Amino acid sequence: MSQLGTLEAGSRHDLLVGRSPDAPDEEDLREEEGAFGYAHSYETGSRYDGPGVRVVLFLSGCLLRCTYCHNPDTWHLKDGTYVSAQHVIDRLAGFAPALKAMDGGLTISGGEAMVQLAFTRRILAGAKDLGLHTAIETSGFLGARADDRFLSCLDLVLLDIKSSDPETYRRVTGRDLAPTLRFAERLAEIGKPAWVRFTLVPGLTDAPANVEGLAKFAASLRNVEWVEIQPFHQLGSFKWKAMGLEYKHADTQPPTPELINRVMGQFRAAGCRVR
Ligand code: SF4
């Protein structure tokens, strides 16, 4: 049994490992009511993870292995701090008046917010009780786990669709694309607001046909309010090195302004609002 810890404000760019060595493997996690879970860190004052100014909670656990991931220290539960949902909600309560005044709220990211689904749901429900706008950032890979009770605690889904081409998706993440597309379509069916996020990685996800496929798919979903282009960066590369992981993007450059403009133009031409 992991020892209960406390969570202090930090940054997604902090390298945090090995804090719960007894945690189960993320594939084997059997949650019950989600009263406890594993968290990497939380940031205050983010303007990039949903509307307004937000607290972003980074949970541990992810089943994907994106080659450009800037948070490989969120992949495993054993690297996270074991905390109670109530502890997280109590911390959040202190920020609630400011978040509401700045039209913001809570975003739960990761890792993958749906690995610890019951824990995530409990925190989202606590945030709703505080009157906060709620969002998750997710790859959608575990979307089949999201039941109606979970979705009812959510105001917005930031859906990372890493590629429209199944082969590229597998090369990027090591997993199948289909569950993400199914989740996107389900969100559209129930009219759940979503922002599609696309990480633009030169030489990996930038092929015109790949962008075109995603642009057409996103444009077909009436619940998608924004498409956000996230340019590849190297801010997480030091973590790969420190963790002894093989990093394939040491020589990959961030996309040029010309490439970003081309990709934005493709989304716009398909009928998406893009930024
Ligand atoms: S889904 Fe996110 S946390 Fe998981 S490997 Fe990909 S970039 Fe990293």
SS3 15: coil
Mean pLDDT of the 210-228 span: 98
Nearest C-alpha neighbor of 165 from the set 223, 204, 222? 204
SS3 202: coil
Closest ligand 1 atom to Cα of 199: 7
CB 192 within 8 A of CB 151: yes
Question: What CA–CA distance (Å, rounded) separates 88 from 108?
Answer: 11
Predicted confidence (pLDDT) per residue in 10-33, tens digit: 888 889 898 899 998 998 888 878
Predicted confidence (pLDDT) per residue in 72-89, tens digit: 999 999 999 999 999 999
If pLDDT is split at 50, 70 and 90, which confidence band does 133 have?
very high
Select from 56, 62, 65 the residue to mutate for testing ligand 1; criterion: most ligand atoms less than 8 Å from CB. Answer: 62
Both structure tokens of 202:
């030169």
Is pTM beyond 0.75? Reply is: yes
DSSP one-letter string for 33-97: S-SEEEEEEEEEEESSSSSSSEEEEEES--S---TT-S-GGGS-GGGSEEEEHHHHHHHHHHHHH
Note the pLDDT of residue 178. Answer: 98
CB 91 within 8 A of CB 258: no
Mean pLDDT over each residue of the chain, to the nearest integer: 96
Expressed in angstroms and rounded, the spacing between residue 162 Cα and the centre of ligand 1 is 10
- Higher-pLDDT residue of 122 and 11 is 122
Orientation of helix 257-270 relative to helix 208-219, angle to 10°: 40
- Measured at the CA of 189, the angle between CA 186 and CA 195, to 5 degrees, comes to 70
Q: Residues with Cβ within 6 A of ligand 1?
A: 62, 64-66, 69, 71, 74, 110-112, 139
Q: What percent of the chain has pLDDT over 90?
A: 89
Predicted confidence (pLDDT) per residue in 99-115, tens digit: 999 999 999 999 999 99
Whether omega before 111 lies within 30 degrees of 0, making that bond cis, reads yes
Note the pLDDT of residue 210. Answer: 98
